[in-house]
Copies of this chain bind each other. A is one copy, B any other.
Amino acid sequence: MFDPIAALTEYIRQPSVSTDPAYAVGMEGARRHLVSLLDSMGLGVEVIATAHHPVVLARREGPASWPHVIIYGHYDVQPPDPLNLWTSPPFEPETRGNRIFGRGAADNKGPQLVHIAAAARLIEEHPDLPLRLTFLVEGEEEIGSPSFSGFLSAHHDILAGDMVLLSDTLSPSSRRIAITTGLRGVLALEVELIGPRMDLHSGIHGGAVLNPLQALVDICSSLHDREGRVNIPGFYDDVIPVPDWERQEVMRLGFSIEEYRNLTGVKSIHTVDGISPHEATRFAPTLEFNGIGGGYQGEGSKTIIPHRASAKITCRLVPNQDYETILKRVAATLQERCPAAVEMTIKEGGGGGPYRVVPPGRPDTPTEQSEVLVRAFGAADRAIEQVFGERPLYLREGGSIPVIEELRRVLGMDSLMIGMFTPEDNLHAPDESMDLALYEKGIEVSQRILSQLADTT
């Protein structure tokens, strides 16, 4: 019998931090645990090497007439720092109240096991279940999935299913569940300006030399207009309007501006045209400075004109902005606005395009949607209402999971994304946790969805 709590506890115990080679043993431990779970379900399990961290692939095969669902997850986690802010050690899972605490509990070990546990129970009850399942669990999500694209292409024959099922997005709370209908794309770049050959004394040279920090703040400041819109020619050209039904779903959220301010600790919100923060973060593209630096940043003062200055910029993209087109426009604008006295280099940081999936029955639902996906959405809607007592919210998310867009682009599959973590779960932060009531209900929902997909009557 599959024990979901024991499976999760043991999974969290493996310190599978993908970004730091010091955690290689933890990565190995997480893979081994996952393999043993999937193996105990009678699936054919493979561990397939990539340039960085291997992919765990487990398949329940069957005739081509059976629906084929790809279940995506990732076994790697964020680094646990700062360690001193954890109530219990990050890799020693501890249950307090109805929550299990530990790094990876919510991102993505718990939500991923929701679907593994659901499949395990279902297969146990119905050994002859007419459903093909492929579990695709990568170990590079937290480092940007560098091997994923190549992996999809190399294994497209066995990965081309009817749809993808996953839980790696947010629900408003443990009682109000979101089905995620879109993700913003992300485009990262770093711009560096070089001025004088070395740091110069600002007394001896100040007034004769363009300070690269000066050039940088001028360029960066020019990238938005006074109303906060991105000031890059053509940036908004391909943005398509948001249908009314999506705005109405956001209204259902019922989350006030006051609550948003309390959550983030900002003095006031800041959106273009004064739209609500909940619409702004889901429907509008952005250009954000994730980091800017140059010159002396230590204690006290150092009177220099710095040699260099740089900015890390990311854009979030919405339908139908194209990654390559926007990258070209941003880079061209940066180059155009660079004064001749400094030298600019732009380094592309990668990312991916925006993603959107329209549930069945909406005014803008595509006519050629996969029949398995349509049934999965219907089953999810009913199961969530029955198990949680309230219909799901259909919401886009401001974040990005570039692999979801890739799965559609490369393999033609859309995704059913069910939010299995909440704002209380401290993702990427100390005291990350998973709500065990949500976990159990999630398994029930997933089991009902898979069961209905298998029902060929």
Contacts and interface: CB of A to CB of B under 8 A. Distances in A.
A271 B265 CA distance: 42
A352 interface: no
Interface stretch (A56-64, A211-219, A243-251): A211-219
B286 A291 contact: no
Interface in A344-394: 349
B281 A289 contact: no
A1 interface: no
A390 to B, nearest CB: 22
Contacts of A218: 221
Nearest to A280: B207
A295 interface: yes
Given A204-B398, A220-B217, A291-B297, A264 B312 contact: no
Nearest to A427: B201
Given A206-B286, A214-B289, A221-B218, A200 B264 contact: yes
Contact of A302 (B222, B291, B341): B291
B295 A201 contact: no
A51 to B, nearest CB: 16
Interface residues of A, number: 82
A211 B211 CA distance: 23
A406 interface: no
Contact of A202 (B209, B216, B224, B290): B290
B341 A268 contact: yes
Copies in the complex: 2
A272 B297 CA distance: 27
Contacts of A296: 290-291, 312
Nearest to A300: B349
Interface string A289-329: 11111111100111111100110101010000000000000
A397 interface: yes
B206 A217 contact: no
A303 B186 contact: yes
Contact of A288 (B190, B202, B293, B342): B202
A428 to B, nearest CB: 7
A24 to B, nearest CB: 19
A341 B277 CA distance: 14
A314 B301 contact: yes
A170 interface: yes
B197 A265 contact: yes
Interface of A: 143-144, 170, 184, 186, 188, 190, 195-198, 200-211, 213-214, 216-218, 220-222, 224, 260, 264-272, 277-278, 280-281, 284, 286, 288-297, 300-306, 309-310, 312, 314, 316, 339-343, 349, 397-400, 427-428
14 contacts: A184-B203, A201-B428, A203-B316, A203-B397, A203-B400, A208-B278, A210-B270, A214-B220, A214-B224, A267-B343, A289-B295, A292-B292, A292-B295, A303-B314
Given A143-B300, A203-B316, 14 more contacts: A144-B300, A198-B265, A200-B264, A202-B314, A203-B399, A206-B286, A206-B316, A208-B281, A209-B264, A209-B266, A209-B270, A211-B288, A214-B288, A292-B294
